[in-house]
Chain A
Amino acid sequence: MSSALGLNLQRMWWRHKATHPILQALLSEPLHTQNFKDTRYVVIDLETTALDPNQGEIASVAWVVIEQATICLNQAAHFHVKLQREVGQSAVFHQLTDSDLEQGVNLSVAMEALLNVVSNSVLVFHNAHLDMGFLNKAMRSLWNAPLLMPVVDTLQIEHKRLLQRTEAIQVGDLRLFQCRQRYGLPDVALHDALGDALATAELWLAMN
């Protein structure tokens, strides 16, 4: 409860500062607690050029939507974002090149598209801390307020679950694909932001 209360206070604080009408509206929505099936989820994954929001940029963003406990791929989206700086080291991780990203959209286009789909939804990430850091930074720089939305983090949930089972947690145990294996989900090849968003969404279904 305390975190919901905290979130509400923060939302009140920021809703007047936000300069984008949709972001303002999002921060004004009442927060419902609903069961899994009736909740709309937007499962998001980012690719970034560094692990620290102050040093890197969002290179791509993708999401899939869960409605009525069903992943609806016809609502999926995937944006490559035009970078301000060069790709640098993260090209190694994501196999992105500068020229790939020259064809991307401006960050504001991707972020606005995101604002358009998250109304009355809960955001889902695998490792929310990292991706929310980037999203909040982007939102604040564009529209002066962070994206203060209810968030589910499959990594944290799994971490808690493993701790409860008092198993020693090994390095890598909480990686998305290791988590999926524990739920009997199929191995998938490493893809892109959209593939990882989908993989996270399937994990979230299996967790419920």
Chain B
Amino acid sequence: MTDSNQPEIQAVADFLRECLPFNELPEPALQEAARQIQIIYVREGHQFSAATDDYALRIVRSGAVEIRSSRNELMDRLGEGESFNIHGLDVGDEGVHAQVIEDSLIYLLPRAHYEAIRAQFRDFDRHFHSQRSRRLRRAARYQPNTNMMMLPIESLVSRNPLTLGPNASLQEAALAMTGRRVSSVLVMEGETLCGIVTDRDLRSRALAKGLPLDTLVSDIMTRKPKHIDVGASLFDAILQMTQQGIHHLPVLRDGKVFGIITSSDLMLARRDDPVYLVQHLSRQTETAGMRAIIDTMPSLLVEVIKGGMRAHQISRVLTAISDTVASRLIDLAIQELGPAPVPFCWLGFGSQARGEQLIGADQDNGLLIDDAATAQDMAWFEQLAQRVCDGLNACGFPYCNGKVMATTDEWRQPLRGWKATVDSWTRTPTPDAVMRVSIFFDLRAVYGDQALCQQLQQHMLARTQKDTIFLAALAANVLEQTPPLGIFRRFVVERNGEHRDEFDIKKRGIMPIVDLVRIHSLAHGVEAVNTRERIQQLKQKKVFTIADGRNLLDAFDTIQQLRVENQSRQIAAGHAASNYMNPKDLPELERKHLKDAFTVVHDSQEALRNRYRQGL
């Protein structure tokens, strides 16, 4: 029993205990702080400033507050549990003020007590020196363990590769390779790499064809071979070999030959890695076999996250896996249906196009067909679409609810049809058209004729780049879909149903960034589709300042990282991976990071609003 006139105010102490940096305080100091709190309720629009208010630490208990500079620039946005000392902020910039943007309950710690605590507890004091953007940057860059797969290949590269001039004979090549016990030779003209000959080339292109021993290596070599930069990661090398079905990659540094890396070099490093799955997948002949492999992905996700793989690397791997499944299904369908009557391209949309797929993605795909196709040819493609989409569904990539699939007529068209569709969408940007456009404008060739896809993409960029009305409609759509993020006091949690107290981190966190980066990209003719690459290019084109671009990239990486870690936790707890997250499940610091990231997103949306809404 405590002294009745010095009661423990549990409700307040419990709240403070969840607030940085009060969580650092020992219990008696916390209880004492709680007893000194004064509480006020302020309406939206109320302002605090050094000139009009007492010196004190103000803690947002509920509601939201913006800190603005004397020039009214937004400096920070605070939600539940975050605090500010308006007099401290005023130093160096007179006229800093706090603007209440939602009715707020404010807990106020009077000056004497605030200063006493800062004097007594160093960590508490230090918190008020730290800056928000610095905190966020640290979070995005922090890597707990370096994953083996993400190491640069440099350490695995064989230096001093065997080289020969183009005029060496096949026999000389065979002798040299045998002498060095290697399976390939680089053909050089001076310093320039002009080809590669491998064991397999000697067998299939020379022996099998009965070429004489004195044939020149330049006659059978692979010209302008695929190569890789010495700074690339192990993952990059494996992916490139797997996708192109090759086993030898010359390694360049500054454009000059540095060494060579082979698939057996890489064997040492991979074993339990998801990239290995790509290879397994491409050998399956039935959907059941693919499904079995796909089903192991959740547990793999948990493993690679433990191993320190970052979200953007994970999503690249998972996208590569779903690309492989689609490609394999197309190959299998062609085996049954016979060869394609005209060139075509299998398109991936949305997260697959962007290379940002995670566990549980559904299908978003389409078929782009050469204009030469006849009605009969189109029937062939309809069958192809049916098989592939069914196959994807059977493999664990469920049908798209919005019917964005090659089986839908609108999403399976010859090039001229696609162009006409794009034209009509941009000409009359109805809400429905705008919604389709935002799906469609992230597209990538997954299989088939890349040139078709490029033509379509260029047509699209040419249409959109100068079209301010269309961009304004797109911007309006994007801004509408993402409610103001000043409401973090509830963390914009879903109020009803199964996901009460949770929020959809994809919808609320990732998509706003993806959407706004897409609009800027369309407006400025950026061809990249991956969000991180788009941000980089927008930075290069000076659409984003270096600081804004970096903040947005950090925000994207941070949210995506929290999203995959959340999925990993769900899987480890025996649940299906979803995008729903309960902010309460996050450690205090991560919750902070998420709020910081949301602040960046919100600011970028403001910028977008200013730039394109004026077109309306």
Contact = CB atoms under 8 A, between A and B. Distances in A.
A201 B39 contact: yes
Interface string A157-195: 000000000000000000000000001111011011011
Contacts of A194: 7, 9-11
Interface stretch (B30-38, B124-132, B398-406): B30-38
Contact of A69 (B40, B62, B102, B105): B40
Interface in B484-504: 489
A10 interface: no
A77 to B, nearest CB: 5
| Contact-size category for B | 20 to 34
B103 interface: yes
A189 B11 contact: yes
| Contact-size category for A | 20 to 34
Interface of A: 62, 69-74, 76-80, 103-105, 110, 113, 183-186, 188-189, 191-192, 194-195, 198-199, 201-202, 205-206, 208
A58 B52 CA distance: 44
Contacts of B103: 183-184, 206
A45 to B, nearest CB: 12
A77 B34 CA distance: 13
User: Top 5 A-B pairs ranked by shortest CB distance?
Assistant: A78-B7, A205-B41, A71-B39, A195-B11, A186-B62
Chain B interface main SS type: mixed
Interface of B: 1-2, 4-5, 7-12, 14, 34-41, 61-63, 80, 102-103, 105, 108, 489
Contacts, number: 82
A185 to B, nearest CB: 6
Nearest to B80: A186
Given A184-B62, A198-B11, A206 B5 contact: no
Contacts of A191: 10-11
Contacts of B1: 80, 103-104
Contact of A192 (B10, B35, B41, B63): B10
Among B2, B7, B35, B102, residue most surrounded by chain A Cβ atoms (within 10 Å): B7
A183 B104 CA distance: 10
A208 to B, nearest CB: 8
B363 to A, nearest CB: 40
Contacts of B14: 189
B39 A77 contact: no
A198 B80 contact: no
12 contacts: A62-B7, A69-B40, A70-B39, A73-B12, A74-B35, A76-B7, A77-B4, A186-B61, A188-B11, A202-B39, A205-B39, A205-B105
